[in-house]
Amino acid sequence: MFGRWWFPPAISRDAASYDAQFMRTLIAAGIIFVAVQVALIAIVWYFRASKNPETRKANAVNQRIELLWTAATAILFWGLLALGSRVWAGLQFKSAAPDAEVIEVLAQQFAWNFRYPGADGKFGRTDMRYINDASGNPFGIDTADPRSRDDITTVTLRVPAGREVKLVLTARDVIHSFFVRELRLKQDLVPGMAIFLHFVADTPGTYEVPCSELCGLGHSQMRTTMIVMPAAEYERWKREQAH
């Protein structure tokens, strides 16, 4: 709509539903905005003192009008909420499909880390004792654990297009937040909690991920990208990572 001064194009069906709900709300808000501002200006203009030398009588309180506009407002606001609830329910009340691609996300001051379970489909054990950023082990993976041998750790998030992805989000120092504009999704990463987020990204491309919860002086530099790859390319990439 406004080019870069607007939402980026949606890359999932849920994001498209989001845009529809936004539009409904925008139209409702827009109508109310214009109506009230115009009414305000018009009424003030029409009843200004210079044009009305005599004081008018107080208008009797019209009980019916009061009830009418109260009810209308309530119906409008609740109605909007009800319309948006379907998308919310789909996102939050349904768990990810059992065959979803599971990826761990670990946020820290001031970087993003992602971990894939590898060919065995299992994540290796982690312990904070093994954390070593310098040698590329931000998760603190216990290398003695056989399941961790094929774990893939990355700094960008690669996901397959058209397949459900389930993210397991956590943080290891302060609260951060994972935000992909094109998915219209955001979720805080809270230390001490493992929070799930699932989505299906349909459009391949590279999308920026800005941290969206104040996490310290590097908050505005805490960037990564989500790279949506066609499913075949994604599988090939995963195989290449395993050595």
**Whose CA is closest to 76, among 38, 17, 28, 39?**
28
> Nearest distance from residue 132's CB to other proteins, in Å?
9
Alpha carbon distance 155, 128 (integer Å): 19
> Nearest distance from residue 72's CB to other proteins, in Å?
9
> Nearest distance from residue 239's CB to other proteins, in Å?
30
Angle (nearest 5°) at CA 182 between 9 and 81? 95
Question: Quick one: 150 or 187, whose CB is closer to other proteins?
Answer: 187
> Nearest distance from residue 231's CB to other proteins, in Å?
26
> Nearest distance from residue 172's CB to other proteins, in Å?
5
Question: Quick one: 146 or 221, whose CB is closer to other proteins?
Answer: 221
Alpha carbon distance 99, 92 (integer Å): 18
Question: Quick one: 2 or 98, whose CB is closer to other proteins?
Answer: 2
Question: Quick one: 178 or 234, whose CB is closer to other proteins?
Answer: 178
Question: Quick one: 122 or 219, whose CB is closer to other proteins?
Answer: 219
Residues in Cβ contact with 161 at an 8 Å cutoff, skipping those fewer than 6 apart: 201, 202, 203, 204, 228, 229, 230, 231, 234
Q: How deeply is 72 buried, as exposed, middle or buried, from its count of CB atoms within 10 A (0-12, 13-18, 19+)?
A: exposed
